[in-house]
Structures are given as C-alpha cells and as structure tokens.
Amino acid sequence: MTYEVKLDVFEGPLDLLLHLIQRLEVDIYDIPMAELTQQYVEHIETMRILQLDELSEYLVIAATLIEIKSKMLLPVHEETVEDWEMNEEEDPREELVQRLLEYKRFKEASLELKEREADQSVIFSKRPIPIEGVDSDDTYEVFDLLNAFQKMLKKKEAKKRPVATVERRERTVEESMESVMDRVRTRKGRTRFEDLFDEGTVDELVVTFLAILQLLANGRVAIEQQDNFAPLWVSEKGEETDGTEERAH
C-alpha cells in the first residue's frame, strides 16, 4: 500500500525535543542525553513507518543528538574533570540548549501573536478562522499520539501470530476517517485511542493513525489525557465527556 502524507501536524524536530524534555520532567540546562536520544530515535522510527515527508529534518537532529551523546560518553582525564564541569562552553549540550531556548522563545512569541489576532477578530465580530492543520497548542498532543501509536505497534508485534493470508481491499485515509468517527460515536462519543486499532497489517494500522491525525487537524475530534503517560482518549468535538469515566474492555 502506498500513500502520500502531507499533514501540517508535526511542527519540527525542535518541537519534538521540547516535548520529550517536558515528558521527562528534566531541566533543559541538564538534559540526560542517553534517555533523550533513545526516545527521540524511537519517535522518528515510528515516523519512518508512517512515511512522513518531514522525516529528513528529524534525521539531521537525530545525528546531532547521537554525536552529543558520544562526546559525553568519552572518558575524561581525572585531572580535567573539574575544569570540564566549571566551563560551560565545553559542555557538548550547550549549542543544542541554546537552539532549544531560542526556538522556545520564538514559538511563545508566535502563540502570543495568534492570540492577539484572535482577539482582534472578536472585536470585529468575525469568527476566527483556524489555520490549516493543527494549532500549535495541539502539537504536543500529536507527539503523544505518535508515542501511543509506537507503543501499540510494539504490543501488536509481540503478540503477532502466524495467520492465513487473506486478500483485503485497501482502505483510503478518507474512508478510515469515517470509520473512526462511526466507532467513536457508537461508544457515546469517546473511546480509548488504542481501541480504534483492529488486528491488521502495519499498513492498515498506519492508515487508521493518519485518519485520526487528519480528524484532529480538521477539528472533528479532540485528544484527552488525564495525566502524563496516562492512556489517551479520542472524543468527538463538541461532546461533553466525563474525564473520570472508565470503560470495561
């Protein structure tokens, strides 16, 4: 199955890095490079499976992370340890940290301008028109979706059993979007993210995931997560749901 993915939902590798740092709950000035690199590489591996057009720029940052990690693993002579700790310029992470801080400032300024634009639209009684794709506030939700999809693929791979090959009709992203909406509605407008994926080939799972991304971009669904690392829920936009609701599966 072949498909072309052009969704304006992944804002770039620096956004992914900021998201991972936030999830790790670490100081941006003291990034644990081994853990950050591992999680970053896992994310872009999932993006490779999705065949995203933006993958090349993520690979450049991946190479940078691996290089920094390698430098930090190099043995340091005992007599120079104190000098290394005292001199920030010798910290291999310094350049990356400065890039992240600069990007973070730029992103925050951009969000402030968008808020002012929305306020101005209200003054003139004009309904705000959403920018194509997912709003910046939803970017981290998308990366959480990517992480949940990655974990779901690993689970299904572990449970994989030999099955008879059955020819199935390829489903388009548009068809899968309506199928996802039907399943959300049959569960009273809210369902677990992982429950939207049936047993199937990787291609079929990918199409379902892309359908959810497009529904998010179109404003037809919302993503909910009660706590960091908690299960993700997909709900139909406009539906009132109980965040504490638990369903039996």
**Token digits for 22?**
């936030």
Alpha carbon distances (Å) from 129 to 63, 114, 118, 122, 180: 38, 11, 9, 11, 25
Predicted TM-score of the model (pTM): 0.67
Tell me the residue range of the domain where 47 lies.
13-236
Q: Which residues contact 224 (CB under 8 A, 6 or more apart)?
A: 190, 232, 233, 234, 235, 241, 243
pLDDT at 48 over 90: no
Residue predicted with more confidence, 239 or 178: 178
From 67-71, 182-186, 226-230, 231-235, the region with the lowest mean pLDDT: 226-230
Within-domain flag for 35: yes
Kind plus residue range of the DSSP H or E element containing 130: none
pLDDT tens for 135-164 read 444 455 688 888 889 888 888 776 665 554
pLDDT for res 114? 76
- Tell me how many domains the chain contains: 1
Within-domain flag for 25: yes
